[in-house]
Structure 1
Amino acid sequence: MRICIVAQTFAPQEEGGAEIVARMCARELARHHEVFVLSLGMSGDRLAPTGEATGEDGTRVVRVNWHNSYLPGHKKPLVGRIEKARWHLKASVGAVSAKEIREIFAREQVDLVYAHNSARMQPALFEASRQLNIPLCVHLHDYALLCPKSSMFSAGGNCDTPCLKCRVLTSRLKSDGEGMTAIAVSEALKQTYLRAGVLTKADWHVLRNENLREDKLHRPFVGRDSARSDIFTFGYLGALSEEKGIEDLIRAFVDMPNRRSAKLIIAGRGREDYVRHLQSIADGAPVTFMGFTPPEEVYGVADAVILPSRWREPQSLILIEAAAYGVPIIATNLGGTPEIVEDMKTGWCYDPSVAGSLAGVMEKALKIGHGNWWAERDKLFPGIRGFKGTAEASRYYERLNALLVEAQRPDHLHLQAL
């Protein structure tokens, strides 16, 4: 089968969770199918020029023209409010040519379009697939078809439904999904789309991100079951941004009466002014800002990993990584997070709307004691030992491949949701 994997941002550009999943899927599916990646590019861009290139792992990447002032992605330039509004308006109308995509699909004789983070390539992608009658499977990692920021998080709070501005800016991205296959990384994400009336006629499946491979894990720390630090260590990995709740975590840690019996390590990057603000809040407390750091440097020493996300995160890869490394998780009860932490018993959830709830859960961990925390880990968090978080253990790619093969069949007999 000839599969076009769509990812608007792709390596060597900076990656988030969705981009990592797309890249891993491209590599794994290429074992059984002819695969190439369709992404966005701009003439002269150092990392993402238009045209065809081959990545370090042998993946073919074809980049189509992005007719806008700068590429989407994690490293956008600092621009004024007017320029940003103009960029979003042009993206909402359509900054990609359906004709260019259609010509690529025809030339490559594509049998299936498998789209990951692809909102910025709409409506051209929907149009080209429909015009050539090519089956389309969309793999949803966030709320990008409902919200230009992809988070449905604004002014410090979550949006229960898309606001008027978001409805206008995403109006051309909408589809009822008839004849399409939709994969969501959590049941919570799926239900958000259905409540918004988007992709209501698609053949829906929930496939949790579990695509870490055994050969990519840092073996000495996988499945660890003992303390690796001299004092109880809370760890955080991720972007240093408001919606990630990192400020809530630092304030909770600083406010704990027993904070001197613990330390907090923070791995990740953010805007320089915001990082300075966070550092000022942590002043005098045992908090270490590690910057951009390999994840195993946190998983190797942390006694608990904290996910304080304010936004309704559909499914963070950290939930899978931490449990695979044997580290319990403390996380908000928003989005798809409880589907792993609570349902699979890998940690504790707390309600971020309740004042002092995070500090209370962290105090609860400290009262158990550093040594007892690990001695009693399997009793406290019975889902961690034997956690099936790697691709091999969960048969992730086998299940994904079965879905894609079924999606490409002309009669498209519906599979039961995974």
Structure 2
Amino acid sequence: MKILIVNTLYYPHKIGGAEISVQSIAEGLQKKGIEVAVLTLGERNEDLVSNNVPIYRLTLENTFWPFDQIERSKIDKLKWHISDVYNSKYNKRIHEIINVFNPTIIHTNNLTGFSVAIWDVAKERGIKVVHTLRDYYLQCPKTNKFKKGSACSTQCLECKLLSKKKKNVSQKIDIVTGISNSILQSHIDQGYFKNALK
């Protein structure tokens, strides 16, 4: 078995718990004798190895690097999120990585920057996809369902429009899990992952 783990960021880039968790999973599987590689984003293309885990880092294909703490205008952010609904600019390189690594399973995590287009690439290649929900990216482009100082009780029009394609493509996932029951149930209640084992 070979597993290609996909996460927006990976060591040494860390913002929160997802990056630590994904690194732990990758290195843990590798120690158990399962071949693992990580596909992640950065400010330049590079292939490297960290703690015996091969890492394929792709240049972010969007209007700006969103992790540099620089404040952007609402228009610039909207353009970024529109591009991130379904960003197929990585597809050629992802196909190349699949050709080299030949994964049995693709395990996706945070997809900000990649978008759900990677799920279609996996399905084109006949590769099973496991997705771990770590935030609300599929429902809310800001990933947190939080607006104007409070949690959102319903989905606003902007989020509905920006998440429609993501919901449609989520029906192609084979297995889905979440970091909590509530985050998983929230997506199931919204009609995501209807065909996936949960």
Structure 2 length normalisation: TM-score?
0.90
The residue correspondences of 1:361-400 to structure 2 (distance < 5 A) are: none
Structure 1 residues 182 and 72, CA gap change in structure 2 (3 angstroms)? farther
- Report the counterpart of residue 177 of structure 1 in structure 2: 171
Is 1:15 aligned with 2:15? yes
* Counterpart-to-counterpart distance in 2, 1:201 and 1:76: 38
For residue 97 of structure 1, give the secondary structure of its aligned residue in structure 2: helix
Deviations 1:99-122 (A, max 9, x none): 221221122111110111124312
- Report the counterpart of residue 2 of structure 2 in structure 1: 2
- Report the counterpart of residue 326 of structure 1 in structure 2: none
Is 1:99 aligned with 2:75? no
* Counterpart-to-counterpart distance in 2, 1:182 and 1:37: 19
Is 1:197 aligned with 2:191? yes
Structure 1 residues 119 and 197, CA gap change in structure 2 (3 angstroms)? farther
CA contact (8 A) 2:86 2:117 kept: no
Structure 1 residues 201 and 107, CA gap change in structure 2 (3 angstroms)? same
Match of 2:75 among 82, 86, 96: 82
Deviations 1:222-280 (A, max 9, x none): xxxxxxxxxxxxxxxxxxxxxxxxxxxxxxxxxxxxxxxxxxxxxxxxxxxxxxxxxxx
Is 1:150 aligned with 2:143? yes
* Counterpart-to-counterpart distance in 1, 2:58 and 2:164: 22
Match of 1:109 among 74, 96, 102: 102
Match of 1:60 among 54, 60, 66: 54
Deviations 1:348-392 (A, max 9, x none): xxxxxxxxxxxxxxxxxxxxxxxxxxxxxxxxxxxxxxxxxxxxx
What letter corresponds to residue 194 of structure 2 in structure 1?
T
Is 1:36 aligned with 2:37? yes
For residue 14 of structure 1, give the secondary structure of its aligned residue in structure 2: coil
* Counterpart-to-counterpart distance in 2, 1:156 and 1:93: 28
* Counterpart-to-counterpart distance in 1, 2:23 and 2:69: 21
Structure 1 residues 197 and 16, CA gap change in structure 2 (3 angstroms)? same
* Counterpart-to-counterpart distance in 1, 2:69 and 2:84: 14
For residue 23 of structure 1, give the secondary structure of its aligned residue in structure 2: helix
* Counterpart-to-counterpart distance in 1, 2:117 and 2:172: 17
What letter corresponds to residue 184 of structure 2 in structure 1?
K
Deviations 1:312-353 (A, max 9, x none): xxxxxxxxxxxxxxxxxxxxxxxxxxxxxxxxxxxxxxxxxx
Aligned-residue identity in percent: 27
* Counterpart-to-counterpart distance in 2, 1:6 and 1:63: 10
- Report the counterpart of residue 71 of structure 1 in structure 2: 65
Pairwise CA distance, 1:167: 1.8
- Report the counterpart of residue 164 of structure 1 in structure 2: 157
* Counterpart-to-counterpart distance in 1, 2:171 and 2:88: 22
Count the aligned residue pairs: 196
* Counterpart-to-counterpart distance in 2, 1:51 and 1:171: 33
Structure 1 residues 93 and 178, CA gap change in structure 2 (3 angstroms)? closer
For residue 12 of structure 1, give the secondary structure of its aligned residue in structure 2: coil
Pairwise CA distance, 1:156: 1.5
What letter corresponds to residue 53 of structure 1 in structure 2?
L
Structure 1 length normalisation: TM-score?
0.44
For residue 192 of structure 1, give the secondary structure of its aligned residue in structure 2: helix
Moved over 6 A (4+): none
Instruction: Give the aligned CA root-mean-square deviation in angstroms.
Output: 1.8
The residue correspondences of 1:213-292 to structure 2 (distance < 5 A) are: none
Unmatched 5+ stretches in structure 1: 43-48, 205-418
Instruction: Report which structure shows greater RCO (CA 8 Å, sep ≥6).
Output: 2
What letter corresponds to residue 42 of structure 2 in structure 1?
G
- Report the counterpart of residue 291 of structure 1 in structure 2: none
* Counterpart-to-counterpart distance in 1, 2:109 and 2:129: 11
Pairwise CA distance, 1:95: 6.0
- Report the counterpart of residue 131 of structure 1 in structure 2: 124
Pairwise CA distance, 1:52: 0.5
What letter corresponds to residue 194 of structure 1 in structure 2?
I
- Report the counterpart of residue 26 of structure 2 in structure 1: 26
* Counterpart-to-counterpart distance in 2, 1:40 and 1:86: 19
CA contact (8 A) 1:7 1:118 kept: yes
